[in-house]
């Protein structure tokens, strides 16, 4: 008996390969700023540094992405979006990402900015929200 494919870490009710996995592999580009945000969160959960760098605006992209060894991302909640659809060139996504670090729970609350660059959404930067 075959096992169902695991649900995507981004929180949508789809299998990883049919959801964020297709963006990570390069088979498709995220069609909206929110889809890119979800796929970038997912990339943190699966430790896909190449995808994170590829979807980061060149002007703000760091030279490398490192992952904290004791950190595990445990959930994503999209709190709001502005623009960021197929009809826009900019967009923002406000989210809360939950994690554990060495077993201690925490969360990251951010308003991220995205732009469309050469037809694809990229992450520019974000503001942390208390």
The confidence band for 99, taking pLDDT boundaries of 50, 70 and 90, is very high
Q: Are 55 and 122 in contact (CB under 8 A)?
A: yes
pLDDT in tens, 11-66: 999 999 999 999 999 999 999 999 999 999 999 999 999 999 999 999 999 999 99
Whether the model clears a pTM of 0.85, i.e. scores above it, the answer is: yes
Q: Report d(CA 44, CA 49) in Å as an integer.
A: 8
The torsion angles phi and psi of 82, rounded to 5 degrees, stand at -130, 135
Q: Are 20 and 73 in contact (CB under 8 A)?
A: no
């Amino acid at each position: 008996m075959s096992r169902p494919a695991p649900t995507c870490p981004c929180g949508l009710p789809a299998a990883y390969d049919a959801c964020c996995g297709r963006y990570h592999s390069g088979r498709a580009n995220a069609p909206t700023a929110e889809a890119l945000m979800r796929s970038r969160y997912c990339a943190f959960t699966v430790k896909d540094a190449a995808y994170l760098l590829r979807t980061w605006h060149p002007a703000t992209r760091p030279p490398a992405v490192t992952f904290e060894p004791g950190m595990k991302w445990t959930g994503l909640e999209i709190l709001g979006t502005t623009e960021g659809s197929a009809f826009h060139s900019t967009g923002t996504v406000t989210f809360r990402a939950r994690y554990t670090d060495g077993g201690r729970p925490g969360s990251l609350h951010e308003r991220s900015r995205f732009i469309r660059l050469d037809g694809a959404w990229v992450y520019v930067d974000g503001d942390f929200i208390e």
